[in-house]
Structures are given as structure tokens and as C-alpha cells.
Structure 1
């Protein structure tokens, strides 16, 4: 786990409570205990950790899973009053991290009624849909659902995948148009960021049927890609710049620029097996006006605060998607000039080199790509 001053672990909480007690009168402590119930800090689960905010009016903890794993259902829990003590409104025992095993591709260019489902190194399954076409949407696994946001035909809509009917059903309206957008989950919020506006919006797991205004983005590029960063931030990466946004305050800071200017690239996170640190990956993309495709790949290391080059892709590609499952890190889909269907590649997270995935899966381009647990699709 990457340690930083914002992440509150069990020992940090214990230290802060002791320090606060040494600097506070007994009477003040008694008033605090009577007015604001407190909850017990949860132990970190397997393949995850809790990011907790304590000694505030509403204590809260958020489940953060290791890349390749996702919360089974809820990500956030809040301390509620129970007599003169407190208890978590979501049971800690129900909050665990489960592996993602299956890659899902929703729609795409000239294949907007086709979904592809496959596990790495296994043949893909093709599923044809009727109804709404999906082209250039984004997807996330959130609160036990596969949610698809925006797209060319569905710019201001979020849909959810019905595992029984294999259909995509309207879920909620978005405030802005989102085509070639990006989505990212931080704490208990699913953020949607579109290319036509600098206003992010979010859907919170305990607020059904609506989205709320998020931070105002400073990104200047048409295309942007977002990833969760550490525990309470997300990074917005555009053609050259990298900005870190704090989901609690809305504040942002500039980080080091990309080494190679690019657009319409893939981004994601993974654990570097050599260092054990969670890092950010950018891969592929297009040159000016998509006239060229870029094979170059870069990794951002939080402890260093820098981007560094790693081995290039075997096939240059525009619009590839980075997907991290419990078994590996993959780039899925994409295109290059006359080749509209690129083969899936896997990143070796020790050597940071790419290899082909066999049997070959060509997952189209400009569809939504996401990793989900067993049983979702």
C-alpha cells in the first residue's frame, strides 16, 4: 500500500486520539463523547484497505480495493448514533473486495449492438442486442451493477446492465452530454467527466436516481482520461497535462506532464510487482488529428512524482482501453488507420513489457470496456 499523509490507518487514528487527549481537558472530551457518537475503526480487508475520517461530526470510512479487485457492493459507511455510542450504517462484515475476472466490451464503432464477454486467455462470447445502440460510452462496476455512461447516441444517459435479460436499461439522466467521456470511482462516488464541459458530475451510492455537481476541471484538451489516485483523489490526464483533484475539497494541483503528447489513449492503475506500489499507466493514443498512432507507454509513480517510459505496445493503437483484472493488466481494442480491430495485449507487471494474449481476441474500438466479477454478465 502507498502511504501518504491523507490516508488514515488504524495506527494513525490511535496516535491522533492520544495526541488530542493530551491537549484537551477532560470536560471537553466528555462533551465530545456525549454530542458526537464514535465508531470503531475497521480492520483492513484482504486485497483492500479503509480510508477513514474520524473525530468529525460524521465519521466515515471508504473501502479502497487493490487494482483488479472491487467492492462487492458498498464502498462507504457512515457512523450513526446508537444511544451514546455509534455504529456503522453499513456493516463492516459485508464490505469486502472481490476479484474481477471477466472483461466486458459494450458496443463500439460499427458494432454498436454487439457486446463481447471474455476471460483473458479464453475465447470471447459475442452477444447481440436490440434497442439502443452504444458507441463511445464508458463503463464502471459500481454498487454491484455494471453501469454505462454517455455515448454518441446516449450522451445524457446512464444505463445499467441487466444480467437476466442481457439488456441495457436506462438508469438515470446525466446533467451534461458525455461522448468520448471518462468515468472514475473515488470513495462512494462515481464521477462522469465529459469532453464538452469542465464540470464533473457524480452519482453517490446511497442517492438513487440523480447526480450531483462535482469539481470544476481545469483540463484543456478535448480528450481526457481519469483514474483513482491514492485514496481520496483522481487524476485527470489530457493530451499532455496531469492534474490531481481532491474529492473532499475540490482543490487540484498540477503534476508532471506526460513525456509524449497524445490523445485518445488508454489509462488505468496496477500494482508494480517489483515495488508493490500502485502506479498509473498511460498507453497508446493518437498523434495530431489521429494521423498517427502512438505505441509509447508511460507509468506515473506516486512516491517519485514522475512519469517514466516503459516498453511500447506490440501494436500501436488509438482508443485502446486499459483494464486491470485480478489476473493481469490488459489493453483492449483500439484502431490504427486501416486496421480497425486490435488484438488484446497483456502487461507483465514485473518486467513492464507487453505480450500477446492467446487465443487472440479483437475487441473492436470505441466501445465501453470494464472488468467485472463473476456472475455480473
Structure 2
């Protein structure tokens, strides 16, 4: 296998991993509220998703490092298929809770295996000194493109499904289940791994905890990884503040739940387009800034200013409110993606293959921890003081996280290469 073919396989799996999520996203909260759940119950369902993901992040990361990347990615796709079907037919709080618990299992299983497979493969082909930024940038951009296309399709589906064929807001989840089933097939065919020593059940029980403990010690003991985990938690606060509060605001601006779903789809698609642009531009941002850490600071500042703008314009109504939200989403997610991509590169440069997915799971765990904190606090703050106050607090948290990248130690290829050297090596 060549590095080019590995990148093609990686980007295909990245696209299919996030397409089902994008399809279900626009109607996620609205489906629950239309079937009788209150906003507090919907927030609790989303919190259960985060808690399940958080609880399983480290064990599933350890399993991936012990049993292999392809196995975990395939099991994740299978569980996601079941979860999306269950969500589509849910009619009670407990059914939604079960569906989102399964989604949490699938999310934990999918946290890292594909990227770890690509990094491991590239290291086998080009050595430990391989520049990870171009491939990781391409994968992140493709993920954002999948989310962009997914939310557009998922937002339109409730408006075009034949009357009586299916509950309109359930159609996106059913479409996501089909996409997840396709992902399962592709993962089994496209991610070959080198032979691994067969591990007995007793060996799994012994090796997985040891791998998890090793990953935690590495994260806690490394100055770079400690900072990156805290930055991930702040990103979780930001992302949940957007996911939880934006659908209801846009539904209020648009008029009905179905129209709100379509409006959210358009705004979210603009955000994911910004995310794709940010991921594609991240290597250039690191090069212009002089290092990945400085490029990450630029992304953090852009995201914080963007969510602050969202807070400042929360009083706008009608078309002006919708247009402002769409414009802010582009810059906000561009900033988030620049920082996220460069943090991903710094994380993988700081670890070896033996604990790669475990450490990626610690990062995802940190992200989910920030999300849980936001779910439990920002919703209540928005109910008491308005969405502007909640978004304003989120902006302050994210801006403060820029300090984590100041004087960041350099690892691997985190330092941006000199442009002359890059040009000479072409």
C-alpha cells in the first residue's frame, strides 16, 4: 500500500463516519420535543449520550490498541445503525434514552481508530518523521464536508417525505441508519491491518487495563498532552453551547419545527463548510504562525470572537437573525477546525502506536467532559438569563483556553517547516 492509497481509504471512511451524524443532526432535538419531551428532558438525553461516551472512551480506546483499529470501527458502525433506527421510531423518553445510550457506545468505539490506522500506516510507509498535517487536514476537511452534505439533506428530508410514509422528523435518522450500514461494509473492506498476535479473553482483560493505565500516565505526565486535554474540554463547552441552544432559537425565528429543522440545516451546513475550510487551511496557518501551537491560538481567538458575536446579536429577529447566525457559523467553525486539526497533529506526534488510540480517547473524553458541564449549566443559564448570557460565558471559556498554547513544548513535526525547505524538498 502507498501513502496515497492509504489517504484515499482514510478519507472515504472519514466521510462515511460523519455522514450519518450529519443526516440526523438537524432534527435531533426537534424530534424529541415534537414527540412530547421537554427541553430539560432533551438535554438529559443528550447528557446520557455524553456520559456513556465518557465512560467507555478509555476502555474502547484500549481495546482498539489491543485488538485492532478495523474491529472497533466496524462494531461502532453496526451499533450506530441500530441506534439510529431506534431513535427514528422512539415515542417515549425512555426509548430516546436507550437510542442515545447506544449512540454513545458507537461514538466511543469510533473515537480514534480510523485516524490511528492512517497514522500507523503512514509511519510504516514513510517512517516516524512523516508529516501528518496534510493527511489529517484532508481527513478533517472531508469529515466537515460529510457533515455539511448530511445536515443539508437531513434538513430537507422532513419537508419532502411523502405524507403518511414516515413521521417527517424521523426520516433523517432512518437515512442515517442506511449510511451507517454502508460504513460498516466499507470499514471491513478498506482498512487492512498487519497481522496481530491472537489475544485470549484473559489476555484482553489483562492488556486493555494496562494499556489504559499507560495512556493515562502518559497524558498526565506529559506537559503537551495535559494542555491539549484541557483545550479539548474547553472546545466541548463551546460545541455543546452551539448544539443545544441554536436549534430552538432558529425554530423560533423560522416559525415551525419543520421549518426550524431546515433553517438549522442551512446554518449548520454553512458552519461545516467553514469547518472544511479551516481544516484545509490549518497547515498554512501553522506555517504562517511559525508553529502548530501558534496556529492553534489564532483558531481559538477566531472561535471566541465568533461565539461572542453570536451572543451580541441574539436579540436580532427574522431574516437578520438567520443571516447573522449563518455568517457567524462559518467563522466560528473555521476557527474551531484550525485549532482542532493542529491539536490532533500535536497529540499524535506526542505518542507511539502502542497507546495512540487510548490517548485519542482521553482527548475525546476531555471533550465530552466539557460537553457534560455545558449541558448541565448552559441550558439552565439560558433559561434564566437568555441565550446571549450562555453564549457569552462560552466565549470567555474558549478565549481563556488560548493561554494553554503559549510556550507550548514542540514535539515531532509540530514546528512548522521552513517554506524554503518545503519548496526545496518538492
Q: TM-score, normalised by structure 1?
A: 0.29
Give the number of the structure with larger relative contact order, counting CA–CA contacts within 8 Å between residues 6 or more apart: 2
Identify, as 1 or 2, the structure richer in helix: 2
Identify, as 1 or 2, the structure richer in strand: 1
Q: TM-score, normalised by structure 2?
A: 0.27
